[in-house]
Amino acid sequence: MYKQDCLGCRLANKEEKVFTVYEDSFLSCILNHDPFNPGHVLILPKEHFEEGVDFDMKMNIAVMKAVQLISKTIEEIYLPDGITICQNGGIFSELKHYHMHVVPRYKGQNFAEFYQDSPDIADPHEPLPSTMVKMKSMIESLVEREKENVT
């Protein structure tokens, strides 16, 4: 079910300005509007879910496939030292709509900063349209490679 009054639903269904790097019939993968690092993506179901425990098997599979695809894309483009995949539920979910973060990380970064709004933190951003173009291109390439490996 889609909820008009839910920001997460509106983001996932592109009713708000978003930079979509991947989508399928179940979900949208969009760039975080205030990324921890370039390549920071949110995975949001197009239907309204507050918690992952409410997913059926198809949604579980769609989310995990998206996690793999986005992670591979981040690894290819940004060469991070690692990737953090996290989901905040209950009172810790700002959107009140299920969303999973896929975040490239580098040695020496304190992940506690992810949860802080601090003007002292350096601005690591590249323009979101540039990130989107890079990631969409890599995702298309990875999807093509996967198709070739299946046949």
Q: pLDDT tens digits for 10-52?
A: 999 999 999 999 999 999 999 999 899 999 999 999 999 999 9
Tokens linked to 145: 């490679």
Phi, psi at 87, each rounded to 5°: -140, 125
Compute how many other C-beta atoms are within 10 angstroms of the C-beta atom of residue 91.
7
pTM for the structure as a whole: 0.86
The DSSP output letter for 144 is: H
The Cα–Cα gap between 8 and 6 comes to 5
Contact indicator for 41, 102 with CB cutoff of 8 Å: yes
Average pLDDT, rounded, for the chain: 90
The Cα–Cα gap between 98 and 32 comes to 14
The DSSP output letter for 20 is: E
Whether pLDDT at 123 is above 90: no
Whole-number pLDDT of residue 121: 47
- Going by pLDDT thresholds of 50, 70 and 90, the confidence category of residue 119 is very low
| Residues whose CB falls within 8 Å of the CB of residue 85, separated by 6 or more in sequence, listed in order | 67, 71, 100, 101, 102, 103
